[in-house]
């Protein structure tokens, strides 16, 4: 449930960014930040307990992975749907 909430919050925030003409710059930066934070999180999980299971690692990074997915979905909407919306807002 926690990861679904992350997905929804990040999705709406990234979708709001689609109103900018160069939305992809912000979204790619967000994806890069989330990817780096995921690597740091995995490293900290492994350093805490060397005999960690894959399920524990997956459960720890699932909100970050869902946030990356939300950014990617919102970015694809920004390329396909939002040019029409931006055009209507300008008129």
Confidence at residue 85, expressed as pLDDT on a 0 to 100 scale: 76
Cβ-Cβ contacts under 8 Å for 23 (sequence gap 6 or more): 17, 75, 78, 82
Confidence at residue 91, expressed as pLDDT on a 0 to 100 scale: 62
74 neighbors 9 (Cβ within 8 angstroms): no
9 neighbors 72 (Cβ within 8 angstroms): no
Q: How many CA atoms lie within 13 A of 28 on its CB side?
A: 5
pLDDT tens, residue order, the chain (91 aa): 788 999 999 999 988 888 887 878 888 999 999 999 999 999 999 999 889 999 999 999 999 999 999 999 998 988 888 777 777 777 6
Confidence at residue 83, expressed as pLDDT on a 0 to 100 scale: 79
CA gap 27, 8 in Å, rounded: 15
3 neighbors 62 (Cβ within 8 angstroms): yes
Confidence at residue 35, expressed as pLDDT on a 0 to 100 scale: 96
Global pTM reads: 0.84
Confidence at residue 49, expressed as pLDDT on a 0 to 100 scale: 84
């Amino acid at each position: 449930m926690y990861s679904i909430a992350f997905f929804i919050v990040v999705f709406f925030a990234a979708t709001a960014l689609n109103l900018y003409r160069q939305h992809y710059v912000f979204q790619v930066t967000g994806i890069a930040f989330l990817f780096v934070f995921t690597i740091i999180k995995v490293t900290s999980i492994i350093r805490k307990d060397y005999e960690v299971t894959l399920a524990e690692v997956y459960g720890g990074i699932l909100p970050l992975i869902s946030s990356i997915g939300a950014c990617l979905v919102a970015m694809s909407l920004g390329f396909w749907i939002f040019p029409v919306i931006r055009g209507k807002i300008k008129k």
